[in-house]
A and B are shown apart, each in its own frame.
Chain A
């Protein structure tokens, strides 16, 4: 792994950033401590507020920690992996895990397809249409998840919503059937997240030398062919990063589900892992069990992150 080699690089190696030489660089010991001094404020924030909670999440997950323990009525009891055993034997956990994976996968595919298609459209459109689409996408990107959710809920409202009136199906409840609900929530999420993909890939396409695409079209390549045979292979590193980013974001969806389905839908049918963990902890006061779900989520994302780091290294980026 490159990480190991770069970690042990000695000062002064060519290409390595080196501490500027000068009068301020008097003592070797001082120069060695200085980066840590600059990192100190970050550490002072991250260790207690980020590192410690992660440790505590793991700790809570191996304890029986419920309302009685929180209020001090009963002593906290170490239960080992009992919370995890409960999860494994809980059919509901597996169904939530399953639909989280399916929902996230569908979101990633939809976001990427829409974002990539529009990035190509941007390269071919004229100035004014390009500007219009960029501005509209910026607006969707910037809109808070909360207000995006409320607006889409209003658009799909059973009685007063625009969608039902235009379609002439007044009274149809979009938030009743599990998969129809997921569809509406998914559309909201894609609306929020495709601009990032579009803008990033557009920038990537712009960076491809025009002569390459020109040569392909002279050789008789269609737009479709030059997309799959030239743009995609050349942008592979960028696409990998965008895909993994999207996986991470879509796997963690919380606000849209929580707000649009009022905490997970009818009988929790639209729950995803994040919402399920939250409801288990704060809804049912099963803090230990909720933490165990949180640990499972963290581990899944950690695996994705390792792929991410590998992808960055493979792109030859020097950290």
Chain B
């Protein structure tokens, strides 16, 4: 017994070390002075931490702007998809209607579609949309919000379904007997009760929008001011001399917000996944 526990402990700690190491290396390299990064004597620590990489990235390469763009896109997607998915989840859990299962299966199938393949038609769609509606065409942040809203929605509905179903219907019935209207029940009673689930769901929408590389690369062609983080990161890759200090600083800036978000809600996340996967 104690021997198997010892083995498990050693394996767990060793794996934890290996798994975390790339993250550590990223942050470490971001604060290393240029001389140490260029050096052929790599050391897993630094005695002269510096913020010069961050300063160069944020100042010279306009990274602050891209960071803000990413925040705007991701938060817009989170808010919009939260509200839309909540309503849809209520529809498929609280009501029984014709084609309910069909609707659910379609939400499921939509999650499997290789969205990368849809870049081709969406490129033309967004291009044409831009001539009709300003603000959602190519080179705009609006176009990114729209496609991420669409792609995050099916999973969000699927996951929210479990959270809505977990709220006892008796609560709503009691409120209705007390004379509350449908919309009061929906927004004042049900919505606050599923809010924790909404937060967990929003992590996925946030991460998907925040991490997106392919649509940012496809839609934002010429308006470099509207670039988002992942595509902007490529700026630091130069054919023969990669600016690794800059790349690692930019990567750190991109990773930290997701990491904080993720750890903050990880408990609900696992509970929510259980709901989404196993029900």
| Interface contact B4-A147, CB-CB below 8 Å | no
Q: Give the docked Cα–Cα distance between A298 and B214 (Å).
A: 17
Q: Give the docked Cα–Cα distance between A244 and B149 (Å).
A: 24
A185 nearest CB across to chain B (Å): 14
A20-B172 CB under 8 A given contacts A132-B13, A147-B255, A223-B4: yes
A252-B114 CB under 8 A given contacts A39-B103, A139-B23, A165-B40: yes
Determine whether A287 belongs to the interface, using a CB cutoff of 8 Å to chain B.
yes
User: A137: which B residues are within 8 A, CB to CB?
Assistant: 16, 19
User: B222: which A residues are within 8 A, CB to CB?
Assistant: none
Determine whether A125 belongs to the interface, using a CB cutoff of 8 Å to chain B.
yes
A162-B25 CB under 8 A given contacts A7-B99, A132-B13, A309-B105: yes
Binary per-residue interface labels of chain A (116-140) against chain B in the complex, 1 for a CB within 8 Å, 0 otherwise: 0010011011100110110111111
Determine whether B151 belongs to the interface, using a CB cutoff of 8 Å to chain A.
yes
Determine whether B50 belongs to the interface, using a CB cutoff of 8 Å to chain A.
no
User: A259: which B residues are within 8 A, CB to CB?
Assistant: 213, 234
A22-B173 CB under 8 A given contacts A118-B15, A155-B22: yes
User: Which of B58-66, B194-202, B259-267 lies at the interface with chain A?
Assistant: B259-267
Determine whether A220 belongs to the interface, using a CB cutoff of 8 Å to chain B.
no
User: A87: which B residues are within 8 A, CB to CB?
Assistant: none
User: A142: which B residues are within 8 A, CB to CB?
Assistant: 207, 255, 258-259, 261-263
| Interface contact A133-B12, CB-CB below 8 Å | yes
Residue of B96, B113, B121, B278 near A291 (CB, 8 A) is B121
Determine whether A80 belongs to the interface, using a CB cutoff of 8 Å to chain B.
no
Determine whether A56 belongs to the interface, using a CB cutoff of 8 Å to chain B.
yes
The chain B residues found within 8 Å of chain A, CB to CB, are: 4-5, 7-9, 11-13, 15-17, 19-20, 22-23, 25-26, 29, 37-38, 40-42, 44, 83-85, 87-88, 90-105, 108-110, 112-114, 116-125, 146-147, 149-151, 153-154, 157, 165, 169, 172-173, 176-177, 179, 181-182, 185, 207, 210-211, 213-214, 218, 229-230, 233-234, 237, 242, 244, 247-248, 251-252, 254-255, 258-259, 261-263, 266, 270, 273-274, 277-279
Residue of A160, A237, A282, A301 near B112 (CB, 8 A) is A301
Determine whether A267 belongs to the interface, using a CB cutoff of 8 Å to chain B.
no
Residue of A22, A39, A136, A248 near B19 (CB, 8 A) is A136
Determine whether A54 belongs to the interface, using a CB cutoff of 8 Å to chain B.
yes
Considering the complex, give the chain B residue whose CB is closest to the CB of A301. B112
Determine whether A297 belongs to the interface, using a CB cutoff of 8 Å to chain B.
yes
| Interface contact A125-B9, CB-CB below 8 Å | yes
A146-B15 CB under 8 A given contacts A154-B247, A277-B117: no
Pair count A-B, CB < 8 A: 326
| Interface contact B16-A133, CB-CB below 8 Å | yes
A121-B15 CB under 8 A given contacts A126-B9, A203-B270: yes
User: B179: which A residues are within 8 A, CB to CB?
Assistant: 23
| Interface contact B210-A157, CB-CB below 8 Å | no
Determine whether A236 belongs to the interface, using a CB cutoff of 8 Å to chain B.
no
A220 nearest CB across to chain B (Å): 14
For the complex of A and B, list the 4 residue pairs with the smallest distance between their C-beta atoms, beginning with the closest.
A294-B117, A22-B176, A56-B121, A124-B8
**What would 22 A/B residue contacts be, using CB atoms closer than 8 Å?**
A3-B101, A7-B98, A17-B93, A35-B97, A41-B88, A42-B153, A49-B146, A50-B118, A57-B118, A60-B120, A124-B7, A136-B20, A137-B19, A138-B263, A147-B233, A200-B273, A251-B114, A255-B211, A258-B213, A277-B116, A298-B113, A317-B278
Q: Give the docked Cα–Cα distance between A144 and B218 (Å).
A: 19
Determine whether A38 belongs to the interface, using a CB cutoff of 8 Å to chain B.
yes
| Interface contact B22-A191, CB-CB below 8 Å | yes
| Interface contact B207-A294, CB-CB below 8 Å | no
